[in-house]
Amino acid sequence: MLNIIKSFLALLIATTFLTMGIGLLNSLLSINMRLQGSGNQTIGLVMSCNYLGIIIGIYFCQPIIQHVGHIRAFAAFGAVVTAISLLHGLYMSPWFWAGLRIGFGLCVTGLFMVIESWLNEKVEPVFRGRLLSIYMILVYFGLGSGQLLLNLSDVQGKNLFMIAAIVSAVCLVPISITRAVNPQPLKVPRYNMVKLFQLAPLSMVGSFTAGLINSSFYALGPIFGLDIGLQVSQVSLFMSITVWAGLLFQYPVGLLSDRLDRLTVLSAQGFLVAAVSLGIAMLGRSNLGTLLPMTACFGVVFTIYPVSMARAQDNIEKQDIVPVSAALILFFGIGACFGPVTSSLIISKVGPWGLYYFTAACGGTLGVVAWIYRHKLPSNVEDQVAFVPIPRTSPVVSHFDPRGEAEGFSNDNDDN
């Protein structure tokens, strides 16, 4: 396995630096807009534009990668991401930033498409699950570590924008100098959304709910911290702990979902998110020592998406695995577009704790719906596929999912 890691070291290093830059820039923008006096709705709308860019990128980036190849496409997308990071610091206007957010999300989708398709094609199926786990760890590590970079300089200055650009630019180096053979042209499936929703309705609902909650936390979590009186260093710690806790929750939740009916697990996740959210809203006001352990528990929200994906693959035909998985990411992105906008409206009405009232409502709704339908959509626990903690990055991650091989499924890349 060590030799496998060495052969993919360039891609894994690139993933780490890319996600660090993303994590830093996302929180930096939210904090900056708040300190400049922007309202909650403005911040929510600007930050949701990133997810709009991701959705556009799902359709826009594939032809570019097919036309110029993986390495050139990665260099182009990475260069634009670096430039966009710097542009945020050159002209500080929320509406200018909204346009930049769309471009940023689009290019980040392209970068992840390159990384994931490259990993997928060049790794043998027997090692794919372990490599995916390492990849997932680095995604969460990078996103969490990026929050801590907020402490390197004044958040209202331009230095942190330059640091975000530098960190993002570093991801170009290992890919540009690698001697690995360029992968085959990327194939991302086309799909009928209505048909795919009918194949896995509760999984689509779970993915949409995860998008609502996760995007709201990433976009408005830093604002919540500032509004309740935390210092920037405390906000960065608050965000990092939540993201890293999400990684730690993957294994125990995955173990439960493999042993129990997944609709039961999804229902329990929804109710747990609701309970933790209400707990934070009611008890987190006391002090930071109470808030941090509770926000660590809130990290369970990052397990909703992979359980939803596993549930979808339990009940569909092998030829539908890849398009359904890609559709789940699209549903996540759609939910992520609405999350910051909706939660910001609630925050404007009830104050910063409205963020957790919103996540409680989302979690509770998922819990009730999954609980009702767990009897209408039964599943045999013995026939469930293995849980894989998949991060939400690009549709290519559905090709990278080793469960396809575990079920005897061969994806498009395997035919090349």
Q: What is the pLDDT of residues 312-325, one digit of tens each?
A: 777 666 666 667 77
pLDDT at 193 > cutoff 80: no
Rounded CA-CA distance 17/273 in Å is 30
Average pLDDT, integer, range 82-94: 90
- Asked if 20 contacts 142 with a C-beta cutoff of 8 angstroms, the reply is yes
The whole-chain average pLDDT of the chain stands at: 83
Rounded CA-CA distance 54/70 in Å is 18
Query: Of 138, 150, 140, nearest to 24 (Cα)?
Result: 150
The pLDDT confidence band at residue 406, using thresholds 50, 70 and 90, is: very low
Task: Give the pLDDT confidence score for residue 413 in this predicted structure.
Answer: 40
Average pLDDT, integer, range 280-308: 87
Average pLDDT, integer, range 104-118: 87
The pLDDT confidence band at residue 263, using thresholds 50, 70 and 90, is: confident
The pLDDT confidence band at residue 224, using thresholds 50, 70 and 90, is: very high
pLDDT at 59 > cutoff 50: yes
pLDDT at 192 > cutoff 60: yes
Task: Give the pLDDT confidence score for residue 326 in this predicted structure.
Answer: 73
Rounded CA-CA distance 52/336 in Å is 8
Lowest model confidence (mean pLDDT) among 65-74, 123-132, 203-212, 278-287: 123-132
Average pLDDT, integer, range 38-59: 90
What separation, in Å, do the N-terminal and C-terminal C-alpha atoms of the chain show?
Answer: 24
Instruction: Dump the DSSP string for 113-135.
Output: HHHHHHHHHHS-HHHHHHHHHHH
Contacts of 365 (CB under 8 A, 6+ apart): 209, 270
Task: Give the pLDDT confidence score for residue 132 in this predicted structure.
Answer: 74
Rounded CA-CA distance 262/311 in Å is 6
The domains located in the chain, with CATH, are 2-179+188-410 (1.20.1250.20)
Average pLDDT, integer, range 339-368: 94
Lowest model confidence (mean pLDDT) among 14-18, 94-98, 311-315: 311-315
pLDDT at 363 > cutoff 60: yes
Average pLDDT, integer, range 265-280: 94
pLDDT at 338 > cutoff 90: yes
Rounded CA-CA distance 178/171 in Å is 12
Rounded CA-CA distance 131/290 in Å is 36
Rounded CA-CA distance 410/366 in Å is 32
Angle, helices 354-373 vs 321-350, to 10°: value is 140
pLDDT at 104 > cutoff 80: yes
The pLDDT confidence band at residue 399, using thresholds 50, 70 and 90, is: low
Query: Of 296, 294, 269, nearest to 362 (Cα)?
Result: 269
Task: Give the pLDDT confidence score for residue 164 in this predicted structure.
Answer: 94
Task: Give the pLDDT confidence score for residue 398 in this predicted structure.
Answer: 53
In this prediction the pTM is 0.85
pLDDT at 405 > cutoff 60: no
- Asked if 363 contacts 379 with a C-beta cutoff of 8 angstroms, the reply is no
